[in-house]
């Protein structure tokens, strides 16, 4: 998958009912062999990681480091997506929308 910039990317939190927008010039998403990272991944980690390794629903394979890497705007709050550093994935959706003129 590789890295992707998208100045219009955002993460929507069902718990907080709020959008968190990507900061311009940061990676929106980065895919690699162990799963998907959301946010910057070169040099300073990622905002959060969803693993594709067994057991994929285990809390130690997924982590939320939101607010640490300055990729999405969380208003200075930490762990706003999962509420803590490690979490269990119950369900997630990723969308891609292409606009043409």
What's the whole-number mean pLDDT along residues 57-81? 79
Asked if residue 38 lies in contact with residue 63, where contact means CB atoms within 8 angstroms, the answer is no
What's the whole-number mean pLDDT along residues 67-86? 82
The residue ranges of DSSP E strands in the chain, in sequence order, are 2-5, 10-13, 18-21, 27-32, 35-38, 48-51, 63-64
Residue 21, class by beta-carbon neighbours within 10 Å (0-12 exposed, 13-18 middle, 19+ buried)?
middle
Q: Report the pLDDT value the prediction gives residue 84, as an integer from 0 to 100.
A: 80
**Whole-prediction pTM:** 0.69
State how far the Cα of 87 lies from the Cα of 61, in Å rounded to an integer: 8
């Amino acid at each position: 998958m590789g890295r992707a910039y998208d100045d219009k990317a955002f993460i929507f939190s069902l718990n907080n009912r709020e959008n968190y927008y990507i900061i311009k010039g940061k990676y929106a998403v980065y895919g690699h062999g162990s799963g998907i990272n959301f946010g910057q991944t070169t040099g300073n980690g990622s905002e959060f990681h969803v693993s594709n390794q067994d057991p994929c629903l285990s809390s130690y394979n997924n982590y939320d480091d939101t607010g640490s890497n300055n990729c999405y705007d969380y208003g200075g709050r930490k762990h706003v997506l999962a509420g803590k550093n490690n979490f269990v994935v119950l369900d997630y959706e990723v969308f891609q929308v292409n606009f043409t003129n």
